Amino acid sequence: MNDPLKIALAGLGTVGVGTLKLLTRHAALLERRCGRPIVVAAVSARHRDRDRGVPLQDYAWYDDPVAMAADADAEVVVELIGGADGVAKDVSEAAIAAGRHVVTANKALLAHHGTALARAAEEAGVTLAYEAAVAGGIPIVKALREGLAANGVERVFGILNGTCNYILTNMRESGRQFDDVLAEAQELGYAEVDPGFDVDGVDAAHKLAILASLAFGCEINLGAVHTEGIRRVSPLDIRFAEELGFRIKLLGIAARTGAGVEQRVHPCLVPLEAPIAHIEGVFNAVVAEGDGADTIMLEGRGAGAGPTASAVGADLVDIARRRATPTFAVPAAELEAVAAAPMERHRGAYYIRFMVLDRPGVFADVAAALRDHDVSMEGVLQRGRAPGAVVPVVMTTHDAEEAGMMRALAQIEALDAVAEPPCMIRIETFSTGGAG
């Protein structure tokens, strides 16, 4: 029998305990699939005496996870602590320096330090594996890095945050405001007490930066990701979107353009006929467009103990079978420092909602501002009349440049008949295969 693959596990929160349970429950199955057992040799967490519902007496205990990464009798260190810096980074660097493979679910760590860690790992001849860091149980890393290895990928996009998708789904189904649905998501454990990491788009931006590196062979560039959240999406916009044949989703989109690699996270109107429009609740989905395979979409649970532990286990199986692949699809030393496409150069269609005083001449003033900045209207919705009252006016546009749209909106907001800042949401047109 081959020697077992010994692992040291740093972090015994929800995912860490889920990983212990999965490795125990499927020990025989994993051994059969790997040709060798996968065994936990050591663990580390902040509180040794906490009841986690799993026995820990058979594992070597370390109070210091960095010391464990350097000294434990293990071939692999599994980092499930979280955070971009601090202990998680120290654990990963110590493991690599000691010649140990690293498996992590830490998207923040990779988004900030992934390129440097990949270079260090490849120089040390060890693996840095992170299937669990992007979209939970969806095997999108392997799909991009291995399944689509023969393809030139031009665009990858998706629903990358289950909290936001849950909130938008429930706002649409119930008609309630963002704050009410957010409070419910917090009660159910789908959103943190401090939800900004999710609802402001930061979590999705971390994941998108990793996907862009995988898809395009470039260095991770989190600073180049244009990031907006969902706080300003209202039930009114959701209803208007449905009336127009769209659904609002928070998407992360990375694409090659003539100006460089475009990376953006923001709410989008997506056509109801696009499959990604029907990904609901806490589910994630990722679409990749390859020049050989055309369009693929993977859907599944993006977080939670089970899905994340499943992805950790998949990486451990690869390491146990001694299957090595460059961290970001090409050798880390060959990752390109590609130009970031400026957001102001983005071209696309737009949904705009204005709250205006219902009086003569207002529509003409709005139309003139759009015309002055080369924005062409495609359609208009206005329901009923209420002279002297504030009413919503919704417009959709043909493709326009982002910079012109922003100037037009600033000019419109300054009109005395406009009661509040305009709501602008970008329109993404996808084919029935999920891409466009």
Reduced DSSP (H G I as helix, E B as strand, rest coil) percent helix, strand, coil of the chain, to 5: 40, 25, 35
- Residue in 307, 18, 312, 303 with CA at minimum distance from that of residue 162: 303
pLDDT in tens, 239-255: 999 999 999 999 999 99
Q: Taken in order 275, 277, 281, 282, is the CA torsion positive or negative?
A: positive
Closest CA to 20 of 10, 29, 34: 10
The three-class DSSP label of residue 29 is: helix
**Residue 231 in contact with residue 200, Cβ under 8 Å?**
yes
Q: How far is CA 24 from CA 14, 54, 65, in A?
A: 16, 10, 22
Cβ–Cβ < 8 Å for 132, 315: yes
What are the structural domain ranges in the chain? 5-133, 143-300, 344-427
Which listed CATH number (3.40.1390.30, 3.40.640.10, 3.40.50.300, 3.30.70.260) goes with 344-427? 3.30.70.260
Q: Which helix (H) or strand (E) holds 159?
A: strand 153-159
Residue 168: per-residue pLDDT: 97
Distance CA 59, CA 49 (A): 14
Q: How far apart are CA 123 and CA 140, in angstroms?
A: 25
Per-residue pLDDT of the chain (436 residues; tens, 9 = 90+): 489 999 999 999 999 999 999 999 999 999 999 999 999 999 999 988 888 888 898 899 999 999 999 999 999 999 999 999 899 999 999 999 999 999 999 999 999 999 999 999 999 999 999 999 999 889 999 999 999 999 999 999 999 999 999 999 999 999 999 999 999 989 988 888 889 999 999 999 999 999 999 999 999 999 999 999 999 999 999 999 999 999 999 999 999 998 899 999 999 999 999 999 999 999 999 999 999 999 999 999 988 899 999 999 999 999 999 998 999 999 999 999 989 999 999 999 999 999 999 888 888 999 999 999 999 999 999 876 777 789 999 999 999 999 999 999 999 999 999 999 999 999 998 754 443 3
Q: Cα separation of 392 and 356, whole Å?
A: 6
What is 339-395 written as a DSSP string? Answer: PBPPGGG-EEEEEEEEEEE--TTHHHHHHHHHHHTT--EEEEE--S--TTSEEEEEE
Q: How far apart are CA 153 and CA 249, in angstroms?
A: 23
The values of phi and psi at residue 113, to 5°, are -130, 10
Options 107, 142, 207, 249, the catalytic residue:
207
Q: What is the pTM of this model?
A: 0.94
CATH of 5-133, one of 3.30.365.10, 3.90.1010.10, 3.40.50.720, 3.20.20.30: 3.40.50.720
Closest CA to 159 of 284, 271, 287, 308: 284
The CATH class, in words, for 143-300 is: alpha beta
Give catalytic status of residue 107 as yes or no. no
What is the tens place of the pLDDT at every residue in 305-336? 999 999 999 999 999 999 989 999 999 999 99
